[in-house]
């Protein structure tokens, strides 16, 4: 019998898309954060504040912007924040 060391699997954090409720690895989603300076897109995934995650698909963003994103971030969107998120969403194609 040969002795083999079992390789440890690296832990991959998973998050839920607030648009479609699909659970995926954190790295494949876009983080939106409510911080002290308002609601922003967090490309690093490390900004301080309450975060929510979305796919890079227009359909998920449209569903989330109706209500579930504001609910997940526990905030009300001011018009400037909503416009910034919509402008970011406009760069996506729906698959």
DSSP bridge pairs for 34: 39, 50
pLDDT at residue 68 tops 60: yes
Rounded to whole angstroms, the Cα distance separating 68 from 59 reads 13
User: Is 85 inside a domain boundary?
Assistant: yes
What is the greatest pairwise CA distance in the chain?
68
User: Is 1 inside a domain boundary?
Assistant: no
Q: Which domain holds residue 80?
A: 14-89
SS3 label, residue 76: coil
Number of domains the chain is built from: 1
pLDDT in tens, 2-46: 667 778 889 999 999 999 999 999 999 999 999 998 999 999 989
User: Is 7 inside a domain boundary?
Assistant: no
pLDDT at residue 1 tops 70: no
Q: What is the CATH number of the domain that holds 47?
A: 3.30.1230.10
Rounded to whole angstroms, the Cα distance separating 19 from 54 reads 6
Best CA proximity match to 30, nearest among 46, 19, 41, 16 = 41
Q: State the pLDDT at residue 53.
A: 97
């Amino acid at each position: 019998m040969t002795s083999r060391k079992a390789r440890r699997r690296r832990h991959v954090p998973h998050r839920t898309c607030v648009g479609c409720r699909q659970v995926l690895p954190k790295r494949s989603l876009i983080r939106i954060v409510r911080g002290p300076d308002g609601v922003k897109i967090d490309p690093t995934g490390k900004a301080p504040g309450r975060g929510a995650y979305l796919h890079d698909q227009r359909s998920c963003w449209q569903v989330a912007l109706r209500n579930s994103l504001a609910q997940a971030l526990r905030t009300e969107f001011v018009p400037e924040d909503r416009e910034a998120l919509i402008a970011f969403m406009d760069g996506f194609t729906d698959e």
